[in-house]
Amino acid sequence: MNIYHFYPKTTPNGIRFLQSLASILKYEFGSKYRELSRLGDFYSILDQRKYSTDVILITAHGANNCIYGDGASGTENQITIDNSQNFCNSFVFAFSCSTAHLGKRMVEQHDVITYVGFNKDIPLVIKQKREAQFKEELNKLLKEIYVEAIVTSFDEFLKNGHTADEFVRLLQKRLTQLYVKLMNLGPQDLAKTYSISHRTTSNEEFYLRLSTHFLATINSVSEMIELHGEKEFVPLVCLNVWDKDKAGEILKGLTQRNIGFEDKLHFYVHYVMSELYRVLWDYKNMNKHLQFIEETKPDYYSQLNNQQVKIV
């Protein structure tokens, strides 16, 4: 399982302040992480792995019916429901405005396992009802919180094998925690941590804007996050470094959710469970879950042979 990150950073449609996210993921996951800035290259990769399951991260501007890619403004390439077939069998997290509806259709029509996105425009600036003050400083802090919240929650999701539903709640929690952390900093520490002038952080009106408009923005972003598809999706990016204790812990969590053999839509969870049983050397239960996949999703099962995973 790999991480493919579509980030059209060389065009107006790349969200530039997220460049540090790409650098951190590359450092953390090495060869398992690949960043692509051109939609043609991104689609080429997706076409090669359409019967595999991967984690797809998108950081680009979006709308209700598309995600904008590379190209000049007004003529840019776009990801739409009509050209997203090769997203199939994967987990998608899109930090893009208003693409939750598109993600829902991708799950329903193109067999995307899980899509996490936002149902409204993600605010990149702090809206102020009264006369706008400290715009530059507040917007800088907002973007810093976005980056840190995404990095820490996404990193924990991948490394610790959390479910997709847990990832959403973790991202919401991180946004709140980082806001609380920011508010608990004194003027001097706040200035030093976020490279803002001490004169600004010592201003009472600045803290008033943080406790009102800034907080309202953070809360609204949390409420925009939607999950479509398999809530129990567990990434296996770090499977090769999990020991038996870790595998057993994740397996116990999935078992408690009563994932049965009645609903073929849970095929991926059965694959995860088969892999966890393999780590535990429980080949009887591993085979039971693989057999379910073979019977309900034969195309998906056939590609498991390419990954040296099969019924024994």
CATH number, domain containing residue 135: 3.40.50
Residues 111, 259, single domain; the answer is no
- pLDDT given at position 112: 93
Three-class SS state of 227: strand
Count: domains in the chain: 2
Indicate the residue among 178, 203, 229 that finishes a domain.
Answer: 229
pLDDT digits (tens, 9 = 90+) for 190-242: 889 888 888 888 888 888 888 887 888 888 888 999 999 999 999 988 888 88
Average pLDDT, the chain: 85
Residues 41, 103, single domain; the answer is yes
Q: Is residue 236 part of a domain?
A: no
Mean pLDDT (whole number) for 293-309: 74
- pLDDT given at position 73: 61
Residues 114, 159, single domain; the answer is yes
The H or E element containing residue 107 is helix 100-110
Indicate the residue among 203, 229, 255 that finishes a domain.
Answer: 229
Give the side-chain half-sphere CA count within 13 A for 295: 12
User: What count of other Cβ atoms lies within 10 Å of the Cβ of residue 58?
Assistant: 24
Residues 276, 223, single domain; the answer is no
Residues 119, 154, single domain; the answer is yes
Q: Is residue 78 part of a domain?
A: yes
The one-letter amino acid at 32: K
Among residues of the chain, what percentage have pLDDT more than 90?
35
- pLDDT given at position 4: 94
Question: pLDDT higher for 188 or 71?
Answer: 188
Helices and strands of the chain, counted as H and E runs:
13, 9
Residues 32, 140, single domain; the answer is yes
Q: Is residue 206 part of a domain?
A: yes
Among residues of the chain, what percentage have pLDDT more than 70?
89
Burial class of 8 by CB neighbour count within 10 A (0 to 12, 13 to 18, 19+): buried
Structural domain span for residue 141 = 3-229
Handedness of CA 245, 251, 255, 256 (dihedral sign): positive
Residues 199, 275, single domain; the answer is no
Residues 171, 208, single domain; the answer is yes
Residues 17, 140, single domain; the answer is yes
Residues 204, 255, single domain; the answer is no
Mean pLDDT (whole number) for 133-159: 88
d(CA 31, CA 118): 29
Mean pLDDT (whole number) for 83-104: 93
- pLDDT given at position 130: 62
pLDDT digits (tens, 9 = 90+) for 1-15: 899 999 886 555 446
pLDDT above 90 (res 122):
no
Question: pLDDT higher for 129 or 170?
Answer: 170
CA max distance for the chain: 69
Q: Is residue 33 part of a domain?
A: yes
- pLDDT given at position 13: 47
Q: Residue 307: which pLDDT band, with cuts at 50, 70 and 90?
A: low
pLDDT above 90 (res 56):
yes
Q: Is residue 58 part of a domain?
A: yes
pLDDT above 70 (res 132):
no
Mean pLDDT (whole number) for 46-67: 88
Rg (CA), the chain: 21
- pLDDT given at position 312: 47
Residues 158, 248, single domain; the answer is no
Q: Is residue 234 part of a domain?
A: no
Residues 247, 224, single domain; the answer is no
Three-class SS state of 54: coil
Q: Is residue 235 part of a domain?
A: no
Indicate the residue among 198, 229, 260 that finishes a domain.
Answer: 229
Q: Is residue 237 part of a domain?
A: no
d(CA 57, CA 5): 5
Residue that has been written with the tokens 């991948």 in this structure? 158
pLDDT above 80 (res 309):
no
